[in-house]
Chain A
Amino acid sequence: MELKGYTGNILNVNLTDNKITVRKQNVDDIKHFIGGLGINTKIAAELIKPNIDPLSPENYLIIGVGPLVGTITPGSSRTVGTSKFPATGAIAYSCGSMSFGFQLKNAGFDHVIISGKADKPVYLLILDNNIDLIDAKEIWGQDIVESTHFLQKKHNNCGVIAIGQAGENLVKSSLALIDRTSTFGRGGLGAVMGSKNLKAIAVKGTLGVSIANPKKFNELFSNLLERIKNYPQRESWHQLGMMRSLPVGMLLLDSGQKKKARQCNERFYLRKLKKRRIACPSCPMGDKDILQLQEGSNSGLLNYTSSIINPALMFTLEDLINFDEAIKGYDIVNRYGLDSLTITSLLKFCTILYEKGILTEENTGIEWKTDYNTLIKLIEIITYRKEFGNLLADGWKKLAEAYNSIENEMLTVKGLDIIFEPRILRLGTMEFEQVVNPKGAHVASGGSPTYIGAGSSIEKFNIHFSRMGIPKSAISRIFTPPLEEMVVNIGRLTRYSEDWYTVLTSVGLCARAQMNRFYGLESTTDFYNAITGYNMQPEDLRIAAERTWNLIKLLNMKEGFSRKDDKFPKEWFNPLKFGDKILKFQDFFGQTIITPEIANQLLDDYYDERGWDKITGIPTQAKIRELGLEKFQFINN
């Protein structure tokens, strides 16, 4: 039977022996794992052997798109990359967007499996059925913007995943960019590509995507488009993009950086920074930016960003004076294929260590400050692994080993730096997720009502619970926290946020709040059925998501991860001096201080809600049987 929504094809590329083959998707896999993240994970479970070096030819890079990708379903341009990540050693995933997934689907593939290592730098070119590995000598050593420009010019505006110099030099926090804009691979996917001598993947498709039930699809699509058209905040999203999402100006104001806050307001953004708004294929809420500096020493500089928040967060470095310094620093980070969040955290942390006398000019060659020159120096020495940068390029774990007194002060989980600071934002699912995510301090809980700005009343919580498809039987448990005044049990809620995120990431929908707010488990299932012709129930999708998340956990159990690694950063339990304020680790409603005992109870509750063993933090035999994952439990042992 011809598949709809899916292409049914998986492309295998072995870089070692230059062998390219295509195989068909297994329909049973589709029903059990849906697509995108789900099927990527199934493939990883079958192929990645435990305890391999992530930067060895034995590692795999699996790229996948879900069944909705390539259609006009709003916000359906998600690309998922699965691999063993060098920053943490976890088998995990990362997501990006822009045009790559859309083009891959149009070229006739749902997944690409890349293995081995090329004997010289190459890029993979996919033009429908014409697939080739091409010598990358013209772009090896070039930055991501230059490489992407070269490939798009040469191959007719193809979708491009490319790495920069950081990936080539195996920096463990390096990532790739899709179409020079969307970050792809926090945690070292750039280094995985670099270790394979794979500079880029370029894809252009001409085949199109057909669907099973146009009549039903038209009804669903026109209703959804009407809702989106009538969304009162749509215009301001179009105008401000991610500036709407996090008030960085307020953050700067609260942290005592009043003069800088003026440079991070909406007026400044619109007048001095924003050049163009761009959107992924099918996205009606476009929030990506082309920025252009209008003044200052870097006037005229163009920068492509998937989120204005990233350079804005870099601007929180105290000694950066002008926003154009942050944009310039951020632009170099992007071009080299570094992670702006990690670079920002590292500079802050190294400066603290310098002030304490642990790092010195003698042992690092740097007089550490959070200013522009030090930022640029840090970027250079990490990217090219020079001097002290060689240690930093190997990640937080190696830094902790070199200075063993500092680990407790690091704001990291499993070797990845945190994104959301709960002492500023309080403890929602985004903050808690960083502790339990198998990858490390990563976030997979978009869509939860604790997401910034998504509402804070019980009524709103209940609306979101229903939308996310949380079973009614779980609601009373979610409203039973360790202390009554906390109102909501973030540990238990995080389990369902992860499941909802996994549904979105498996079908191919955007997980950003401004997009996924228009979807619920039921409507997502309706779109899925209209596109594929299957007759799945909402609960089938949720269980497939749960199965996927449990399989990710099982894979990482084999890598040696357990509850001992799901550790709240110790520093969270200490007060944070923030401007004139002293901030403490509080629950979501700010009713109580989170102590280590309460944090542990929330972990217990998370494992309990997942059906995992509380002592080890891994899936129980009963849960493994319930989800039909028995055969993966001992795979490759």
Chain B
Amino acid sequence: MVKESIINILIDEERCTGCILCKLWCSYIHHKIFNPLKANLEIKDRYGLAPKIIFLDTCIKCGQCVQHCLYGALRLKEEDN
């Protein structure tokens, strides 16, 4: 099921592969280090049957994660229009 997040990003968790390209880029661009724990989004159960993508309160809505999701799990809302 495609969900709409608070930051104008469509989330399709079924397409998430757990590659964490989004989290790695987020931590790198905002904290200058590759560290998924510093990313502003979380992926729970990323190698399980039903991963959950959650944007944290620290997210500044830059949309960079979307640019780095190659599987279509994160898309900007405009892209669907």
Contact = CB atoms under 8 A, between A and B. Distances in A.
A49 interface: no
B19 A282 contact: yes
B34 A286 contact: no
Contact of A290 (B33, B37, B49): B49
Contacts of A208: 27, 31, 33-35, 37-38
B28 interface: yes
B21 interface: yes
Interface string A229-251: 10000100010000000000000
Contact of A279 (B17, B31, B35, B68): B17
Interface string B17-30: 11111001101100
A282 B33 CA distance: 14
Nearest to A280: B19
Given A72-B34, A208-B33, A281 B19 contact: yes
B70 interface: yes
A284 B25 CA distance: 13
Nearest to A531: B34
Interface string A168-187: 00000000000101000000
Interface residues of B, number: 23
A282 B18 CA distance: 9
Interface string A202-238: 0000111111001000000000010011000010001
B14 to A, nearest CB: 8
| Interface SS majority for chain A | loop
Contacts of A207: 35
A214 B29 CA distance: 10
Interface string B32-57: 11110110000000110100000000
B40 to A, nearest CB: 15
Contacts of B35: 106, 206-209
A290 B18 CA distance: 12
Contacts of B25: 72
Interface string B49-74: 10000000000000000001011000
Given A70-B34, A106-B35, A208-B34, A278 B28 contact: no
Nearest to B33: A208
A46 B23 CA distance: 39
Interface residues of A, number: 35
B32 A214 contact: yes
Contacts of B18: 278-279
Contacts of B27: 208
A72 B21 contact: yes
Nearest to B28: A72
Given A72-B34, A208-B34, A284 B49 contact: no
B19 A210 contact: no
Nearest to A302: B49
A43 interface: no
Contacts of A206: 35, 37
A277 interface: yes
Contact of A282 (B20, B37, B49, B71): B20
A283 interface: yes
B45 to A, nearest CB: 8
A623 interface: no
Contacts of B37: 206, 208
Nearest to B69: A284
Given A206-B37, A290-B49, A281 B70 contact: no
Contact of B68 (A99, A106, A225, A238): A225
Contacts of B68: 72, 225
Contacts of A210: 32-34
A275 interface: yes
A379 B33 CA distance: 46
Contacts of B71: 238, 277, 279, 286
Contact of B49 (A209, A275, A277, A283): A275
Contacts of B49: 275-276, 290, 302
Interface in A250-307: 275-284, 286, 290, 302, 304
A181 B48 CA distance: 12
A69 B64 CA distance: 22
A183 to B, nearest CB: 16
Nearest to A211: B34
Nearest to A287: B17
B53 to A, nearest CB: 14
A592 B20 CA distance: 48
Nearest to B50: A276
A278 B17 contact: yes
A181 B18 CA distance: 13
A181 B19 contact: no
B19 A284 contact: yes
A71 interface: yes
Contacts of A229: 70
A606 B64 CA distance: 48
Given A71-B34, A208-B33, A209-B34, A181 B47 contact: yes
Given A72-B25, A72-B28, A207-B35, A286 B47 contact: no
Contacts of A284: 19, 21, 70
A277 B17 contact: yes
Which of B17, B35, B47, B49 has its CB near the most chain A CB atoms (within 10 A)? B47
Contacts of A209: 33-35
B7 to A, nearest CB: 21
Given A208-B37, A208-B38, 15 more contacts: A72-B34, A206-B37, A209-B35, A234-B70, A238-B71, A276-B17, A278-B17, A278-B46, A279-B17, A282-B24, A284-B70, A286-B19, A286-B71, A290-B47, A304-B47
Lowest 10 CB-CB distances: which A-B pairs, in order?
Answer: A208-B35, A279-B17, A279-B19, A208-B33, A72-B24, A286-B17, A284-B70, A209-B34, A210-B33, A71-B34
Interface of B: 14, 17-21, 24-25, 27-28, 31-35, 37-38, 46-47, 49, 68, 70-71
30 contacts: A71-B24, A71-B34, A72-B21, A72-B24, A72-B28, A72-B34, A179-B47, A181-B47, A206-B35, A207-B35, A208-B31, A208-B33, A208-B37, A211-B34, A234-B70, A275-B49, A276-B14, A278-B18, A279-B18, A279-B71, A282-B19, A282-B24, A283-B19, A284-B19, A284-B21, A284-B70, A286-B17, A286-B19, A286-B71, A302-B49
